[in-house]
Amino acid sequence: MTAVVDLTTAPRTGTRRKLGRGRIATGLVLIIAALYFLLPVAASVEFSLRGVHDTHDLSTWENLFGQPGFLDNLITSLELAAGTVVITLVLMVPTTAWVHLRLPRLRRLIEAICVLPLVIPAVVLANGVLVAFRGGPSWITGTPVILALEYVVLALPFTYRTLDAGLSAIPLTTLVEAGRNLGASWLTVLLRVIVPNLRTSILNASILSAAMVLGEFTIANLLLMNTLPVWTVQAGQQDGEVATAASMLILIVTWALLLLMSVFGQRGARRTGRSR
Amino acid sequence: MADLTSRNRRRLDLLGLLPFLAYVAVFLGVPTVSVVVGAFQDDAGGWTLSNLGAAAGDPYLHAFVVSTEISALTAAIGAVVGLAIAFAVSASPPGGVLRQVVSTASGVLAYFAGVPLAFAFIAAIGSQGLVTKWLGALGLDISGFSLFGFAGITLVYLYFQIPLMVLVIFPALEGLRPQWREAASNLGASRWQYWWLVGGPLLLPPFLGALMLLFANAFAAYATAAALTNGIIPLVPIQIAAVMSGNVAVGQENLGNALGLGMILVVALALAGYAWMQRRTSRWLR
Of B222, B219, B177, B223, the residue nearest B202 (C-alpha): B177
pLDDT above 50: residue A5:
no
pLDDT above 80: residue A8:
no
Q: Are B130 and B33 in a shared domain?
A: no
Q: Are B64 and B112 in a shared domain?
A: yes
Whether B63 maps to a domain, the answer reads yes
Sign of the C-alpha dihedral computed for residues A215, A219, A223 and A224 taken in this order: positive
Say which amino acid occupies B252: Q
Whether A259 sits inside 8 A of B104 (CB atoms) is: yes
Domains of chain A by residue range: 2-48, 68-275
In tens, the pLDDT along A214-269 reads 999 999 999 999 999 999 999 988 888 889 999 999 988 988 888 888 777 666 55
Whether A23 sits inside 8 A of B91 (CB atoms) is: yes
pTM: 0.88
Contact criterion met (CB below 8 Å) for A215 and A19: no
For A94, nearest residue in chain B (alpha carbons): B16
Q: Are B271 and B184 in a shared domain?
A: yes
Provide the shortest C-alpha distance from residue A113 to chain B (in Å): 8
Residue B161's pLDDT band (boundaries 50, 70, 90)? very high
Identify the CATH number of the domain in which residue B76 sits.
1.10.3720.10
Q: Are B23 and B106 in a shared domain?
A: no
Higher pLDDT, B20 or B251: B20
Please, how many CA atoms are within 13 Å of residue A183, restricted to the half-sphere of its CB?
A: 0
Provide the shortest C-alpha distance from residue A276 to chain B (in Å): 20
Q: Are B117 and B179 in a shared domain?
A: yes
Q: Are B160 and B273 in a shared domain?
A: yes
Whether B45 maps to a domain, the answer reads no
Please report the number of interchain residue pairs, chain A to chain B, with beta-carbon separation below 8 angstroms: 246
Q: Determine the pLDDT at residue B143.
A: 67
Higher pLDDT, B230 or B82: B82
Q: Determine the pLDDT at residue B102.
A: 87
Q: Are B22 and B79 in a shared domain?
A: no
Q: Determine the pLDDT at residue A56.
A: 82
Model ipTM value: 0.88
Whether B35 sits inside 8 A of A124 (CB atoms) is: yes
Q: Are B75 and B203 in a shared domain?
A: yes
Q: Are B133 and B259 in a shared domain?
A: yes
3-state SS string over chain A? CHHHHCCCCHHHHHHHHHHHHHHHHHHHHHHHHHHHHHHHHHHHHHHHCECCCCCECCHHHHHHCCCCCHHHHHHHHHHHHHHHHHHHHHHHHHHHHHHHHHCHHHHHHHHHHHHHHHHCCHHHHHHHHHHHCCCCCHHHHCCCHHHHHHHHHHHHHHHHHHHHHHHHCCCHHHHHHHHHHCCCCHHHHHHHHHHHHCHHHHHHHHHHHHHHHHHCCHHHHHCCCCCHHHHHHHHHCCCHHHHHHHHHHHHHHHHHHHHHHHHHHHHHHHHHHHHC
Whether A95 sits inside 8 A of B222 (CB atoms) is: no
Mean pLDDT for all residues in chain A: 85
Q: How many domains does chain B have?
A: 2
Whether A131 sits inside 8 A of B38 (CB atoms) is: yes
Q: Are B8 and B79 in a shared domain?
A: no
In tens, the pLDDT along B179-213 reads 888 888 889 888 888 889 888 888 999 999 999 99
Q: Determine the pLDDT at residue B127.
A: 79
In tens, the pLDDT along B55-96 reads 888 888 999 999 999 999 999 999 999 999 998 888 887 778
Domain hosting residue B35, numbered range: 1-39
Q: Are B99 and B178 in a shared domain?
A: yes
Q: Determine the pLDDT at residue A60.
A: 84
Q: Determine the pLDDT at residue B27.
A: 95
> Considering only residues 233 to 262 of chain B, which have any Cβ-Cβ distance to chain A shorter than 8 Å?
237, 240-241, 244-245, 256-257, 260
For B179, nearest residue in chain A (alpha carbons): A1
Pick the CATH number of A68-275 from 3.50.50.60, 1.10.3720.10, 1.20.1440.230, 3.40.50.300: 1.10.3720.10
Q: Are B149 and B246 in a shared domain?
A: yes
**First CA to last CA distance, chain B:** 44
In tens, the pLDDT along A159-208 reads 999 999 999 999 999 999 999 999 999 899 999 999 999 998 999 999 99
Whether B271 sits inside 8 A of A254 (CB atoms) is: no
On chain A, the residues whose CB falls within 8 A of the CB of B220 are: 121-123
Residue A77's pLDDT band (boundaries 50, 70, 90)? very high
Whether A217 sits inside 8 A of B109 (CB atoms) is: no
Q: Determine the pLDDT at residue A97.
A: 94
Whether B2 maps to a domain, the answer reads yes
